[in-house]
Chains A and B, each alone.
Chain A
Amino acid sequence: MQFASYPVKFASYNDFKSWFQSRYDRLTLPPEATEKGPFYTPPPRGAKAPWRVVWCILFPDSKYIRICENYFATPKAQGGEGLRAHLSYHYGNLPTATDSQGLPLRAPNGPSDLRMDVDKYRGPHLHYGDKDHIPQSSLDGLDIATFDLFTFIAKILEHRAKGKPLNEVFGFKIRT
């Protein structure tokens, strides 16, 4: 895996939790929104990666945000830190099915209004409207690999509050 292209990392799970908690405490959601999670999957033992966070925010108009980040350990020679190897930030229509934790269960490759992904094999890409797997190289104004989940949530809330198109709120353009 080429870790250099995924620069977001923490020295330990405890550092990640401290960061997350401090940002979470500052987040103000609309009163009508409900949450499932955040759920942390901690490292198997100790504070070294892997760990994971999954979190859904549900809105009464049947839209939802789903956040998922997976952190993997860098090789010991590179410090063994927890590096964000995967992220998916999803906003779209709320599916009816739920999993064992009560989290919305998205239909396989179901549509999204906006979805950012970084995965080990495809690299950073975007799903927007009816376009899927738009690579980072086709985007201007958005760096998916370094994007912050709390910024994603804030921008979705702005989109919902002001009715501005998502590409304007996020400030990206797709090259044709």
Chain B
Amino acid sequence: MPIQELTPLSLVEVTELIAERETRYRIPSEDLVQDPAKRRSVPEDDLAEWLFLLEQKRALVEQSTQPQQVGRHYLSEASGPVEDRAPSYAELAA
């Protein structure tokens, strides 16, 4: 099966999905980060997805506060020169 790339979510969509989880588990996201007992009450896969959504929201908020030209610069830098790469997954996992 070919690898499929999903459409990135908007800040509104990510915020809605976070709110959905807060309602489902009756846990505010802040408590999820700070309270180990509440965190343990969330199934592991759901917790991972929830934390990923929070990270997506953080990145989206951060990007939305950057001026447009800075955004373009960020994009051009993103792929980075080869010599600046971190050690590869394969190298580290070997």
How many of A's residues come within 8 Å of B, CB to CB? 55
**Alpha-carbon gap, A10 to B92, bound state (A):** 10
CB distance from B91 to the nearest CB of A (A): 10
B63 is an interface residue with CB less than 8 A from chain A: yes
CB distance from A5 to the nearest CB of B (A): 13
Q: Which of B1-19 contact A (CB under 8 A)?
A: 1, 3-6, 8-9
**Alpha-carbon gap, A17 to B44, bound state (A):** 25
Residues of B within 8 Å of A45, CB to CB, are 8, 60, 63, 71, 75
| With known contacts A20-B3, A46-B74, A9–B93 Cβ distance under 8 A | no
**Alpha-carbon gap, A147 to B90, bound state (A):** 10
B60 pairs with A44, CB closer than 8 A: yes
Taking residues whose C-beta sits less than 8 angstroms from the other chain, chain B's interface range is: 35 or more
- Choose from A11, A86, A108, A121 the contact partner of B36 (Cβ within 8 Å): A121
**Alpha-carbon gap, A14 to B39, bound state (A):** 32
CB distance from B64 to the nearest CB of A (A): 9
Residues of B within 8 Å of A121, CB to CB, are 36, 39
